[in-house]
Structure 1
Amino acid sequence: MERKERVRSPCVSICALDERDICIGCQRTGDEILRWTSMTNCERKAVLLKVAERERKISL
């Protein structure tokens, strides 16, 4: 049986939450950061989609 790779954290070591509880480095919420290690790969991928959407909104 093949072992699946865990989805990697988007952390870029710039860890600070803004007034909306969003990390200015990786764009995850405080809750998403806290729960990351216990999330399934499917849950992590869902968070990464949210992160991508947050990043798009910043660049507008």
Structure 2
Amino acid sequence: MARSPLPPFPSADDGPASPCVRDCCLDEADVCLGCGRHIDEILRWRQSTPVERERILADAARRQDARRRKRSD
């Protein structure tokens, strides 16, 4: 029995590029201090569709903003 081919992974050309800034360090909530993504989002980035990547970027930006506001309080 022949296997069905797997669908291709989205490439970097399929939407937003990774926000990784090569400053990887996870906080106590498993969120990267460099890019603001949760570890689960980092791990599934390459398999994510462009729409999913946009949502991940928006969530990461909200996390980064919240972290900056907390530090300035």
**TM-score if structure 2 supplies the norm length?**
0.72
Aligned equivalents of 2:15, 2:58: Cα separation in 1:
16
Q: What is the aligned-residue identity percentage?
A: 44
Q: Which has the larger radius of gyration?
A: 2
Structure 2, gaps ≥5 residues long: 1-12
Q: Which runs of 5+ in 1 are unaligned?
A: none
Aligned length: 57
| TM superposition outliers: structure 1 runs of 4+ over 3 Å | none
Q: Distance in 2 between matches of 1:19 and 1:59?
A: 16
**3-state SS of paired residue (2:18):** coil
